Chains A and B, each alone.
Chain A
Amino acid sequence: MNPFFAIVRRDARLAFRQGTDTLMTLAFFVIAVVLFPFGVGPEPNVLARIGGGVVWVAALLASMLALERLFQADYEDGGLELLALAPMPLSAVALAKVLAHWLATGLPLAVAAPALGVMMNVPGDVFPVLIGALLLGTPTLSLIGAIGAGLILGARRGGVLLALLVLPLFIPVLVFGVSAVEMAAQGLSPAASLLILGGMFLAALALAPWATAAAIRQALE
């Protein structure tokens, strides 16, 4: 079988069988959003004002949780070295792992978002835009996050460091993701923001696997 999809299947199967990554990501997502009505009061107008932003920030933070371990297990047991020596380019390996990671974390986030949107009083007709924006944004977050995951291999306190490294790079995705939802909530067209999100995804798709491979190679030297 195609070696690319062999890696995707293996990683995805491992992730789903264990379930911890998906569960942890979703649990954090739900908890983070649910805390807001308690924090800012349950007044529906207030929640609706900040709803899009809250759901997005919570999704962004949740998607970071499982990043630290993206390459960790393979790095520790030597599997990563074998993959680096394989005929398949390391950037393709990285892309395959990112795809599996996104299927286990980003995709569930996008699917769960409407339920949380309801809790934040986000208007129902905004949900398609919310899901669409997350479907465009979360893969970008996974791609950028993978660069960070490669950089911290072997570092002390990798988890915290990873957050510091990738959060500045996440901000553009967040800005346009929320903008799309806000525009839709006001009845305007979210097309411009969605297009920019799409553009960022394509740029990340083209560049991030290559940077991730460079980061992994540094770790393996």
Chain B
Amino acid sequence: MTETETTGEHGEHAEVPFRILPKLTDRNRDFWTAGARGELRFWRCQDCGFYIHPPQPICPRCHSKNMKTEAVTGLATVASFTVNYQPWMPGPELPYIVAIVEIVEQPSVRLTTNLVNVAPDEVDIGMAVIVTFEHHPDPDGDVYLPVFEPNTGAQ
């Protein structure tokens, strides 16, 4: 897992695109800010071990409220992706890749995210990816968007 996103695979300084940022709450803050420490964190039930995303106040499996956020490895698999050409709003340079990834710890935990440092024609479903973070300074608290790039170290 890399600690910053602003360094691409060839070491160049990548442009951080405009993003609408999430409104931070006690429930989502770890997810959106733990990238400062290079961590991808999810809520996890401390009684049954189930990861919960998006955050909910109880464990959907055992209904326990005994939950904490825990770091995962950041390893994930591309469940699907789309190459977006439409300028919906200011954002990454077109075209950009929107993907759904499944984390290896529990594939039912999915994230809609972006794939970075990869060309659209190099992406495929099933591809192994790893988290990296896009840092957005903000007066309400810096946000580190978890985005994903090819995990070149994977088999």
Tell whether A pairs with B: no
Chain B residues within 8 Å of A, Cβ to Cβ: none
Chain A contacts to B: CB under 8 angstroms = none
